[in-house]
Structure 1
Amino acid sequence: MDGQTVAMKRSATDYTRKVLHKFGILLGLLVMSLVFSILSDHFFTVDNLLTIALQTSVIGILAIAQTYVIITSGIDLSVGSILAVSGVVTGKLMVAGTPIWLAIVAGILIGAVCGWINGLVIAKLNIAPFIATLGMMSIARGVAYVITGAMPVSGLPEEFYFIGGGSIGRIPIPMIEMFVLAIVFGFILRKSRFGRYVYCLGSNEDAAVLSGINVQKTKIWVYVISGSLAAFAGIMMASRLVSAQSTAGTGYELDAIAAAIIGGTSPAGGSGKIRETIIGAFIIGILRNGLNLLNVNAFWQQIAIGAVIIIAVYMDTLRRRKGHALA
């Protein structure tokens, strides 16, 4: 075999790897969809696909928040609880007669404040993100219980339903909101100076400091973004259910983290893309939906999602090892 043939084969192999790296997550989504369409006649129906889109929207928005945080080598375990407390605050204000728009703004501000506290504790007090956000998870959930007395907040205005349960034609409004947020925050992450700071911080914090980046400020803003997006997701969920509940979002932080990691956001920090995170969210949504159609027990569904997370992290580890080897 001459040198030219070897070079051509090596080039073809490198090209294949690049294609798989770029489109592998999308290919995984298509393969999973194909499998479930074969196993269930109800999977590839318009109603079911719209149901998947509606159910994925909340996790997708939370996953956008997690993407920002994980890129900085952090984690936010409080998004599910912030979702709940922001939803009940918004609901309580509307029941008290506050205009819908003002109640929504207040709910998002609650989420932003929770995120700001997370960022402050992590950046200023040097407490690990896992511990800081674990504390906020408990605090925010407790506040939600105190505000509601563990009772649902009902009697919300009918106009409020459109935000989380309305549609344009047959396209659910929450899906539109998720894609709009993905475009906006994807643009910020990829094209803005702040986005470059986020990537630099996750890649090498010491290098970021030496480059003149205000690391503490960047961290705080990342968690403010996370809290604000979680709050919006909570408001959207309260709207869809026409009820704000203190138990809303329980366990959602795990699905959001899973979606971001499955979408290629590295737990080691420094890499991740919003568009791939959204694909990861749809993989979670399709997996749950498909297993439900096949009448698979919910406990087995958790096992399946856990296995997918482990595989995704392992693939990221392999990718990083190859990158170091080539370097």
Structure 2
Amino acid sequence: MNNSTIEKAPAGVIARLRSWASADPHVTRLAVVLVLLLVAFAVMKPKNFGNVATWQSMAVQFPEYGLMALGVMLTMIIGGIDLSVVAIANLASIASAVMMLSLAPKGSDAGIGYLAAFLAVPLCLVIGAIAGAFNGFLVAKIRIPAILVTLGTFELFTGIAIVLTAGKPLSGLPMQYSEVFAARVAGIPVPLIIFALAVVIVAVLMNRTAFGAKLYMLGSNEKAAAFSGLKTTSLTIRTYMTSGVLASAAGLVMLANYNSAKADYGSTYTLLAVLIVVLGGVNPNGGSGKLSGVVLGIVVLQVLSSFLNTFPNISNFYRPLIWGGVLLLVIVINQWYKPGGLSRFFQKRSAS
């Protein structure tokens, strides 16, 4: 390798970084924020930062709301939203818990316990798909705004879950379920593996299939998508169905982490999922957004949450305040950089 090649290498790397940064400013900003958070974490709390248990705990926690955020992302790309993901997760996990408790009550042998755990997975995912399809049907066929539909079904699904449990947690699940879904494979928690598989599947759907391209077309202009021959009703229903399946997968993770099921678990995850998607650069009006930004948003918020946990003086009661403030701040920043947004408004004000 000659000197000219050595001199050109850093310049080439810098050029690639610049092109990557200009191509997706949301991802760039999130990457910078993540690096700053990690540096602050390492400097201020070095013991926690260097503890393997801290990172394993993160890997167990964020797949719960991370899977929900993936579903919200898909619905937001088509110009909708899914505010029922937490209710779907709880309803699906409760139905799975009821089935496992009926098949493998306390005292059952291990074989029956593993059978019950195996059957719980497809049951949970099917319930999530049905709930998501119901949302999509109301949005696409009855033409009710997505925010109203999913707010209504949030209450509906939560009400069904409360009836099934009488408002009490369902515990005493077969230990074989936790042995599988709360285990670690080569030190990697199973919930993280489930989340990684979901990310790969969503990435393939969005980037390697016609389904992903149609999502962006529908979100950009629904009328134009319909005139171009897209089956918008079917596409909308399938999108909400996919969101329901991802939410039910989150329910499986929650069921393993808590070893119980209840109608109000993860009550703050709805706001968190929406915050992650907006933070990741997905346009709330539809038509744009990248999976990489959403995944980075999930990691950023989990690192921030774990960092805050190291300060005993910061109560968990402040979390909704922090998440709500961050959500509003991100929306304001996005509007500032949007062409014809807040920056132009302030320029007009100053000129007058």
> TM-score higher than 0.5 here?
yes
CA distance in 2, matches of 1:140, 1:177: 24
Are 2:94 and 2:261, in contact at CA under 8 Å, matched by a contact in 1?
yes
Contact 2:271/2:324 (8 A) holds in 1:
no
Instruction: Give the counterpart letter for 1:190 in structure 2.
Output: N
How far, CA to CA, are the matches of 1:256 and 1:318 in structure 2? 22
Whether the 8 Å CA contact 2:30–2:293 is kept in 1: the answer is: yes
| Stretches of structure 1 lacking an aligned partner (at least 5 in a row) | 1-10
Match of 1:236 among 253, 262, 265: 253
**2:35 is equivalent to residue 18 of structure 1:** no
Q: Does the aligned pair in 1 maintain the 2:74–2:239 contact within 8 Å? A: yes
Letter in 1 for 2:37: M
- Alignment of 1:89 with 2:62, yes or no, is no
C-alpha contact 1:81 1:249 (8 A) present in aligned 2: no
Work out whether residues 266 and 272 of structure 1, in 8 Å CA contact, stay in contact via their aligned partners in 2.
yes
- SS of the counterpart of 1:309? helix
Does the aligned pair in 2 maintain the 1:76–1:129 contact within 8 Å? yes
The answer for the alignment partner of 1:159 in structure 2 is 176
Counterpart residue number, 1:41: 46
1:1-327 to 2 correspondences below 5 Å: 18=22, 21=25, 22-44=27-49, 45-97=51-103, 99-295=116-312, 296-321=314-339
Q: Secondary structure at the match of 1:265?
A: coil
Give me the whole-angstrom Cα distance separating, in 2, the residues matched to 1:227 and 1:114: 6
Q: Which whole-Å CA distance do the structure 2 matches of 1:15 and 1:105 have between them?
A: 43
Q: 1:247 to 1:291 in 2, by over 3 A?
A: same
Distance 2:215 2:24 in 1: 26
Compute the displacement of 1:19 (Å): 6.4
Shift of 1:320: 3.2
Question: How far apart, in 1, do the equivalents of 2:195 and 2:20 lie?
Answer: 32
Query: Which amino acid letter does the alignment assign opposite residue 27 of structure 1?
Result: V
Deviation at 1:169, TM superposition (A): 2.5
Would the aligned equivalents of 1:154 and 1:243 in 2 still touch at CA under 8 Å? yes
Deviation at 1:317, TM superposition (A): 2.4
Question: Is residue 162–residue 173 contact of structure 1 (8 Å, CA) maintained in 2?
Answer: no
Q: CA RMSD in A?
A: 2.2
For each residue in 1:187-219, what CA deviation from the matched residue of structure 2 results, as whole angstroms up to 9, or x when unmatched?
A: 101221011111111111111111111111111
Identity level (%) = 28
C-alpha distance in structure 2 between counterparts of 1:76 and 1:217, whole Å = 17
Could you say which structure has the larger radius of gyration? 2
User: SS in structure 1 opposite 2:265?
Assistant: coil
Using the size of structure 2 for normalisation, the TM-score is 0.84
Asked whether the 8 Å contact 2:72–2:243 carries over to 1, the reply is yes
Normalised by the size of structure 1, how large is the TM-score?
0.90
- List structure 1 runs of 4+ shifted beyond 4 angstroms: 14-17
Tell me the secondary structure at the aligned position of residue 62 of structure 1: helix
What secondary structure does 2:167 align onto? Answer: coil
Q: Which runs of 5+ in 2 are unaligned?
A: 1-14, 104-114, 344-352
Q: 1:253 to 1:23 in 2, by over 3 A?
A: same
Aligned to 1:6: none
CA displacement, residues 282-302 of structure 1 (integer Å, 9 cap, x when unaligned): 111111111111121223332
Residues 41-75 of structure 1 show CA distances to partners (whole Å, capped at 9, x for unaligned) of 34312111111121111111111111101111111
Q: Structure 1 residues 29 and 242 mapped into 2: Cα distance closer, same or farther (>3 Å)?
A: same
Is the 2:92–2:125 contact (alpha carbons within 8 Å) kept by the matching residues of 1?
Answer: yes
Letter of the structure 1 residue corresponding to residue 276 of structure 2? A
Distance 1:202 1:42 in 2: 46
Amino acid at match of 1:222: T
Report the Cα offset of residue 111 of structure 1. 1.1
